[in-house]
Amino acid sequence: MAKKPTYEELKQRLRELEKEAVGRKRAEEDLRESEEHYRTAIKHSSDGIAIVREDTYLYANKRFVEIFDYDCPEEIVGRSISMTIHPEDHERVTEFNRLRQQGKPAPSMYECKGIQRNGKAIYLEVSATKSIYRGEPVSLVYFRDITDRKQREKALKENEEQYRSLFENAPLGLGIGDEYGNIIDFNDAMLSPGGYTREDIAEIKNMSQFFYVPDERNRIFAMARRQGFADQAEVLLKRKDGTPYDALLTLRLIQIKGNPCWQAMIQDITERKRAEDALRESEAQKSAILDASDDRIRYVDKDMKIIWGNKTTALVHGMTLEELAGKTCYEAFVGRDTPCDGCATVKARETGRIESAEIYQPELKGIKGGTYWNAYCVPLKNEEGDIEGFIQIGRDITVRKLAEERIHILSQELLKAQENRRQRISQYLHDHVAQDLSTLKIGCETLFDDDPDAPPEKKKRVSELSEIIQGTISAIRGLAYDLRPPGLDQLGLIQSVFQYCEDLSENTGLIVDFKAAGMDGLRVDPDIEINLYRLVQESLNNIKKHAEADHVIVRLVASFPNIILRIEDDGKGFDVEGRLLKASKEKRMGLGSMDERVRLLNGSLRIQSRLMEGTKIAIEIPFKEKKSG
């Protein structure tokens, strides 16, 4: 039988139990404080934190919800981890999680692609540790959004690749050396002028060994150290075989990852130097050729001040080349303070391209009377593309222009004479031939009025002759109408064009929609009037013959200082350039005739056409307004 504990023993045991109870209570309180501390830390962590069991989320903090663009943790808890992992990385992440759950080696941290609720892909840095949650083994997974960092890395990589490509494919030799000139990097263009290979460069090691003249090397490096660069220095560099070649060297002191380095750019100018030597050798010959030209040839700077001129320029204007030098061309030859109107050099300075212009000069030093000039200007640019000067070529075209004006006047007179002759022929046909034929027709029709018993065969024969005469009368009147519309002088341009369009529609079935605006109250010069009529006539005739159109719109509008004629059809269209080229070789037919009429009236003709989309003709004729009354 067991011995009963004494009172003191019971009392001592009670005290021990009380101490254990107090300790347990304190431990429970410490545990609750610790859990609260870690729960708060997880809740407000800058990383997304989730508790995962096998393939299921059991918990997600606020930052996790934000990273994956959800509204609350309840949208995540209880769902598969695959909902937040991009399909590209799903198998890999699932395998890592499986290995970790089985206690096998798995990466403690890795990068993968995630997917937000809206389907947008993001980049994640993921780390995981094993833990116990509510008595069960789980994985505590940390997610950090590194999308911005990955995008910056991608952009940086692309920039590096781009600049590397530029470096490797640059047409000039590029090299990088440290502060002592030891070669760090170079492109293939650095090798070709000297005939080196990459293995040769590896043996050379230092930039200074490329210089053919040591003193030149020391001078250029000293200059570059003093001012941080040496630009476009002409130097002699050494080929692999030890022979020299001419080059342009640009040397700059730069920083690469905080370290001072030399950047060298080399351009082989051997051919350029040869060309310069050849140019100098042939300079006298070229000067002789330029001096022998009848054209006025000048070299001016960007401000149009004369630097050089050929002998023709000086002799014609009665000045020496020394007197011309330093003066602007417009000051020296025209006595102006500003460039001439329409100056080709001003245009070339604005556009950077070769320009030409025809200029009339009422006065010119050394030349009496007004003159016409064909001015031709070539801009001269430096290697940066900036204009440094111009070559001006002036050709006196006065004789040609006066001849052209005379031809123009003669052509106008010829056109007037043709129209006058047409008018006389039209009147004669209408007033005499047609009238005589009408009288003859009446005579045929009344031939047997006094002989009712005449044989039927004779009556029939005379009737047939009368019909032939009537056809001839119609043909004569049509011919007279084509030569000169009878209503043009009496009814005016608008009514005559309207009547022509109506007749054409009635005879051919082609619908012609004619309207005029702004023409009422205007008295148009007869030459312009008949030519506008002819332009409408020839346009509609072309459409009738070639366009296969159903509908034509004709608009005649007076808009001072021009009369505008627009004709548009819905026909099959044509190749404008090819047709105009063909028309230029024709004599007063079709488009060629129209173009000639418009030019003789100092007007402009524009034609737009596309196959199966119709044709548009726009004609503008200048005129002086004359009010009737």
Q: Are 72 and 65 in contact (CB under 8 A)?
A: yes
Give the list of residues 6+ apart from residue 586 with CB closer than 8 angstroms, or none. 592, 593
Stretch (H or E) spanning 526:
helix 526-542
* 20 lies in some domain: no
Question: Within this chain, do residues 375 and 448 fall inside the same structural domain, yes or no?
Answer: no
* 285 lies in some domain: no
- Please, which pLDDT band fits residue 550 given cuts at 50, 70 and 90? very high
Q: Is 521 helix (H, G, I), strand (E, B) or coil?
A: coil
Question: Within this chain, do residues 320 and 439 fall inside the same structural domain, yes or no?
Answer: no
Instruction: Give Rg (Cα) of the chain.
Output: 49
> pLDDT value at position 629?
43
Question: Within this chain, do residues 123 and 180 fall inside the same structural domain, yes or no?
Answer: no
> pLDDT value at position 589?
53
Provide the edge-to-edge strand list for the sheet that holds 136-145: 56-60, 48-53, 136-145, 121-133, 109-115
Based on the structure, what is the number of domains in the chain? 5
- Please, which pLDDT band fits residue 504 given cuts at 50, 70 and 90? confident
Q: Which of 275, 283, 276 is nearest to 308 (CA)?
A: 283
Q: What is the pLDDT of residues 79-99, one digit of tens each?
A: 888 888 898 888 888 787 777
Measured between alpha carbons, how far is 312 from 344 in angstroms, rounded to an integer?
A: 20
Residue 72, domain CATH = 3.30.450.20
Check residues 1 and 202 and name the one with the higher pLDDT: 202
Question: Within this chain, do residues 174 and 257 fall inside the same structural domain, yes or no?
Answer: yes
25-55: burial string, b at 16+ Cβ within 10 Å, e else: eeeeeeeeeeeeeeeeebeeeebbbbbbbee
Measured between alpha carbons, how far is 537 from 422 in angstroms, rounded to an integer?
A: 15
Measured between alpha carbons, how far is 235 from 207 in angstroms, rounded to an integer?
A: 13
Give the rounded percent of residues in the chain with a pLDDT score beyond 90.
8
> pLDDT value at position 254?
86
Average pLDDT, stretch 481-506?
A: 79
Give the rounded percent of residues in the chain with a pLDDT score beyond 70.
86
Distances (CA, A) of 277 to 91, 283, 331, 623: 72, 10, 35, 60
* 288 lies in some domain: no
- Please, which pLDDT band fits residue 22 given cuts at 50, 70 and 90? low
Average pLDDT, stretch 70-83?
A: 89
528-565: burial string, b at 16+ Cβ within 10 Å, e else: bbbbbbbbbbbbbebbbeebebeebbbebebeeeebbb
Q: What is the pLDDT of residues 578-589, one digit of tens each?
A: 776 665 555 445
* 26 lies in some domain: no
- Please, which pLDDT band fits residue 475 given cuts at 50, 70 and 90? confident
Average pLDDT, stretch 203-216?
A: 83
Q: What is the pLDDT of residues 332-366, one digit of tens each?
A: 887 788 888 888 898 999 999 999 888 887 777 66
- Please, which pLDDT band fits residue 150 given cuts at 50, 70 and 90? confident
Measured between alpha carbons, how far is 269 from 264 in angstroms, rounded to an integer?
A: 16
Mean pLDDT, the chain, as a whole number?
81
> pLDDT value at position 123?
92
Residue 511, domain CATH = 3.30.565.10
Continuous H helices in 453-523: 456-483, 487-491, 493-508
> pLDDT value at position 247?
87
* 374 lies in some domain: yes
* 188 lies in some domain: yes
Question: Within this chain, do residues 513 and 469 fall inside the same structural domain, yes or no?
Answer: no
Question: Within this chain, do residues 308 and 422 fall inside the same structural domain, yes or no?
Answer: no
DSSP assignments along 389-441, one per residue? EEEEEEEE-HHHHHHHHHHHHHHHHHHHHHHHHHHHHHHHIIIIIHHHHHHHH
* 539 lies in some domain: yes
**Eight-state DSSP code of residue 168:** H
Question: Within this chain, do residues 176 and 252 fall inside the same structural domain, yes or no?
Answer: yes
Q: Is residue 115 scored above 60 in pLDDT?
A: yes
Measured between alpha carbons, how far is 462 from 442 in angstroms, rounded to an integer?
A: 11
Q: Is residue 487 scored above 80 in pLDDT?
A: no
Check residues 303 and 422 and name the one with the higher pLDDT: 303
- Please, which pLDDT band fits residue 40 given cuts at 50, 70 and 90? low
> pLDDT value at position 565?
92
Stretch (H or E) spanning 169:
helix 147-169
> pLDDT value at position 10?
67
Measured between alpha carbons, how far is 539 from 21 in angstroms, rounded to an integer?
A: 119
Question: Within this chain, do residues 259 and 211 fall inside the same structural domain, yes or no?
Answer: yes
Residue written as tokens 């937000």? Answer: 116
Q: Are 553 and 540 in contact (CB under 8 A)?
A: no
Question: Within this chain, do residues 502 and 603 fall inside the same structural domain, yes or no?
Answer: yes
Q: Is residue 23 scored above 80 in pLDDT?
A: no
Among the candidates 445, 479, 513, a domain finishes at 479
Average pLDDT, stretch 234-238?
A: 87
> pLDDT value at position 628?
47
Q: What is the pLDDT of residues 293-341, one digit of tens each?
A: 778 888 899 899 988 888 888 777 777 878 888 888 888 887 788 888 8
Distant-in-sequence contacts of 55-59, Cβ < 8 A, 24+ apart: 55/80, 55/81, 55/82, 55/94, 55/97, 56/80, 56/81, 57/81, 58/133, 58/138, 59/133
Indicate the range of 191-205, 412-426, 438-452 predicted with least confidence. 412-426
Domain that holds residue 309: 296-396
What percent of the residues of the chain are helix, what percent strand, and what percent coil, each to the nearest 5?
A: 50, 25, 25
Among the candidates 241, 273, 305, a domain finishes at 273
**Which region holds residue 197: left if phi is over 0, alpha if psi is between -120 and 50, else beta?**
beta
> pLDDT value at position 28?
53
Indicate the range of 313-322, 562-571, 596-605 predicted with least confidence. 313-322
Q: Is residue 34 scored above 50 in pLDDT?
A: no
Average pLDDT, stretch 496-521?
A: 87
- Single-letter amino acid code for the residue at 471: G
Measured between alpha carbons, how far is 601 from 406 in angstroms, rounded to an integer?
A: 14
Stretch (H or E) spanning 95:
helix 90-101
Angle at 27 between CA 23 and CA 29, to 5 degrees: 115
Distant-in-sequence contacts of 343-347, Cβ < 8 A, 24+ apart: 343/375, 344/375, 344/376, 344/377, 344/392, 345/300, 345/304, 345/375, 345/377, 345/390, 345/392, 347/377
Question: Within this chain, do residues 345 and 392 fall inside the same structural domain, yes or no?
Answer: yes
Question: Within this chain, do residues 470 and 500 fall inside the same structural domain, yes or no?
Answer: no
Q: Which of 344, 334, 332 is nearest to 378 (CA)?
A: 344
* 145 lies in some domain: yes
Distance of CA 551 to the CA centre of its chain: 37
Asked if the peptide bond before residue 73 counts as cis, ω within 30 degrees of 0, the response is no
Indicate the range of 5-19, 76-90, 232-246, 609-623 predicted with least confidence. 5-19
Among the candidates 479, 505, 525, a domain finishes at 479
- Please, which pLDDT band fits residue 24 given cuts at 50, 70 and 90? low
Give the list of residues 6+ apart from residue 51 with CB closer than 8 angstroms, or none. 57, 58, 59, 60, 131, 133, 138, 139, 140, 141
Question: Within this chain, do residues 141 and 214 fall inside the same structural domain, yes or no?
Answer: no
Average pLDDT, stretch 242-271?
A: 86
